[in-house]
Amino acid sequence: MHTGPALIERGRLNPGYLKLDLFCRGLRLASDCDLGGEEQTRRVRAGLGSGLELCIQGRGGIRVNAPVTEAFARRSPYELHGPRADGSHWITHDGKEVASVRVPPRPKFYDLLTSSGKPMGSVGTIQGTYLGIYFGMLCANWKAPDDDACRFCAVGTNVSDGDDRTDKSARDVVETALAAQRELGVTFVHLNGGFDDTQRYLERFGPVLEALRQETGLLTGLQLPPLRRLANYDAVRALGVNNISLCFEAWNPRRFAEICPGKNRRAGLARYKAAIVHCVKGPGFDTTNGELIAGLDTPEDSMAAIDWLTGVGAVPTVCVFRPLAGTHYATLPPPATESLVPVFAHAYRRCMAHGLPIGVAPNVKVSIVMNPEECRWLLPPTERGRWRWRRAKHAATRLALGAYVRGRARRAARGRAASG
C-alpha cells in the first residue's frame, strides 16, 4: 500500500513536497538563470529568510524561501532556470523540469526611506505575502559574555553585518507597513523580538502595536519570549494583537537545553508551555501558535510536540532546520526530507482533527515555514479528500476575514486623512 505523498502529479512535482524538499536540499542557480540583477536574498530575523523567495505556480501559488547561499544548497539536485518570455522561471531536478515558478520582484518599498532616513528594507521584510519585522534591542542571548544564543539562530549576525537593525522606531515600522500595504496589499504584519532581561516587553512593543492597529488596520502577530506575568497577555490582546506565537523550538527537554541554552536559562520549557496554554484559554487571541524546528528533535519528539500543541488548541508552526552561516550549527547537515514528511503530515492531520483554524488568514502565505494547510500535500493521495467540509468552512472564513481586513484598512486610511 502506498503511504507517502504522490510525488509527480500532472507532470509536475507535488508543490508541498517540492517546498519541503527545497528547504531540505536547497536550490542552485543554473548558468541560464537571470534574476534581473537585483539583490534577492536577505539576512533577517532568525535567519530563515536567507534564501530566494519563489512562488510555485499553480495550486494556489505556494510561497517558498529556497536556501541558495548555504553550502548544502551547492549540492542540490534542483536548479533554477529562466526566465521565459512570459517572465516565469522553471526548476529542474537532475535536469528534468519539475515546476514552473515565479520569482517575485524585489519590493520597491525596500528602497524608500522612512521619515527618519532608514531604508524600509532594513525595517521590514516580505516573507511570502506578509511583512515580518524584528523589533527592538538585540536578544539578550546574543550579548557577551554569555554564549547563550540558540544554536541555529542568526539574529546577532543579521544586525551586525546582515540586513537587519535594532534602532527601528514605531514610526519607522508604521511607515514601512503602510508602504508594504500600498505596494503589495499585505494584510498581516508580524513582529518578533528576543529576550529582554529587564522584561520591558509591553513598554517596548505596546506603542508600535497600538500605532499599527490605529494607522494601518493590518492584522498583527507578535512573537516574544514567554511573559513572566501571564496576566500581561491580556494587555497584549488589548493592543489588538490577533496572533501570538511562542517558539520553544525543541520538545525534548535535553535537546531544548542543548539547542537553546539561553531560552532554557532565561525561561525554561515549562514557561513556554504555560504561556501557550494561557494564551489559548484566556486573552482571546484569534490564534495562538507554538513554534518548533523539525530536524533538531527526532521526528517522534516533533510529533509529540504537535500532539500537545493541537491538544491544547494551539496551531503548530513547524520550521525546517536550516544550517545558517554565522550560527553554531552552520556546518551541520540539513534534515532528510523523507524523515520530515510524516511530521508535516501529522501536523495537518492533528490540526484538522482538532478543528483548528488553519489557512483562514486572508492573503497570508508564509514562505519560511510549511504552512499547516500546505501539509495536506504530504498526505497519501487516498487521504487528500478528507475533511472536505472543514476546508470549505476555512475557505468561507478566509473570504469573510478578507472583507473585514479591507474594511479595517479603509477606516484606518480615513483616520489618517482626518488627522492630516
264: phi > 0 → left, psi -120 to 50 → alpha, else beta; which? alpha
Rounded Cα–Cα distance for residues 5 and 407 (Å): 40
Q: Which residues are CB-neighbours of 393 under 8 A, at least 6 positions away?
A: none
DSSP state for residue 370 in the 8-state scheme: B
Rounded Cα–Cα distance for residues 202 and 214 (Å): 17
- Cβ closest to ligand SF4, residue 179 vs residue 260: 260
Q: Is 155 in the site for ligand SF4 (CB under 6 A)?
A: yes
- Count of residues binding ligand SF4 (CB under 6 A)? 13
- Cβ closest to ligand SF4, residue 157 vs residue 181: 157
Considering the complex, what minimum distance in angstroms separates the CB of residue 196 from ligand SF4?
10
Query: x/- binding map, residues 302-321, to ligand SF4, per CB under 6 A?
Result: --------------------
Q: What is the dihedral of CA 109, 115, 118, 121, to 10 degrees?
A: -20
- Cβ closest to ligand SF4, residue 187 vs residue 327: 327
Q: State which of residues 18, 66, 149, 259 lies at the interface with ligand SF4 (CB under 6 A).
A: 149
- Cβ closest to ligand SF4, residue 262 vs residue 323: 262
Q: Which stretch binds ligand SF4 (CB under 6 A): 8-16, 50-58, 258-266, 400-408?
A: 258-266
DSSP state for residue 161 in the 8-state scheme: H
Distance from the Cα of residue 53 to its chain's centroid: 12
Q: Which stretch binds ligand SF4 (CB under 6 A): 256-264, 322-330, 389-397, 407-415?
A: 256-264
Rounded Cα–Cα distance for residues 94 and 279 (Å): 46
Q: State which of positions 42-61 bind ligand SF4 (CB under 6 A).
A: 46
My answer on whether omega of the bond before 381 falls inside 30° of 0, hence cis, is no
Q: Is 153 in the site for ligand SF4 (CB under 6 A)?
A: yes
DSSP state for residue 141 in the 8-state scheme: G
Considering the complex, what minimum distance in angstroms separates the CB of residue 264 from ligand SF4?
10
Considering the complex, what minimum distance in angstroms separates the CB of residue 44 from ligand SF4?
12
Q: Is 368 in the site for ligand SF4 (CB under 6 A)?
A: no
Q: Is 195 in the site for ligand SF4 (CB under 6 A)?
A: yes
Helices (H), 185-200: none
Rounded Cα–Cα distance for residues 338 and 154 (Å): 26
Q: State which of residues 28, 213, 263, 394 lies at the interface with ligand SF4 (CB under 6 A).
A: 263
Considering the complex, what minimum distance in angstroms separates the CB of residue 194 from ligand SF4?
4
**Cell numbers for 101:** 515558478
> CA nearest 127: which of 206, 40, 209?
40
> CA nearest 89: which of 77, 105, 109, 76?
105
Q: Which residue has the cell 494607522?
A: 215
Considering the complex, what minimum distance in angstroms separates the CB of residue 139 from ligand SF4?
3
- Cβ closest to ligand SF4, residue 107 vs residue 194: 194
Q: Is 324 in the site for ligand SF4 (CB under 6 A)?
A: no
Query: x/- binding map, residues 108-147, to ligand SF4, per CB under 6 A?
Result: -------------------------------x-xx-----
- Cβ closest to ligand SF4, residue 136 vs residue 334: 136
Q: Is 194 in the site for ligand SF4 (CB under 6 A)?
A: yes
Q: Which residues are CB-neighbours of 75 under 8 A, at least 6 positions away?
A: 25, 26
Considering the complex, what minimum distance in angstroms separates the CB of residue 167 from ligand SF4?
17
Residue 393 is which amino acid? K
Considering the complex, what minimum distance in angstroms separates the CB of residue 153 from ligand SF4?
3
> CA nearest 120: which of 156, 70, 174?
174
Q: Is 275 in the site for ligand SF4 (CB under 6 A)?
A: no
> CA nearest 222: which of 129, 291, 141, 318?
291
Considering the complex, what minimum distance in angstroms separates the CB of residue 150 from ligand SF4?
3
Q: State which of residues 5, 82, 221, 262 lies at the interface with ligand SF4 (CB under 6 A).
A: 262
Q: Which stretch binds ligand SF4 (CB under 6 A): 149-157, 176-184, 287-295, 315-323?
A: 149-157
Rounded Cα–Cα distance for residues 238 and 412 (Å): 18
Query: 10 Å Cβ neighbour count for 331?
Result: 10
In the complex, the residues that contact ligand SF4 under the rule CB under 6 A are 46, 139, 141-142, 149-150, 153, 155, 194-195, 260, 262-263
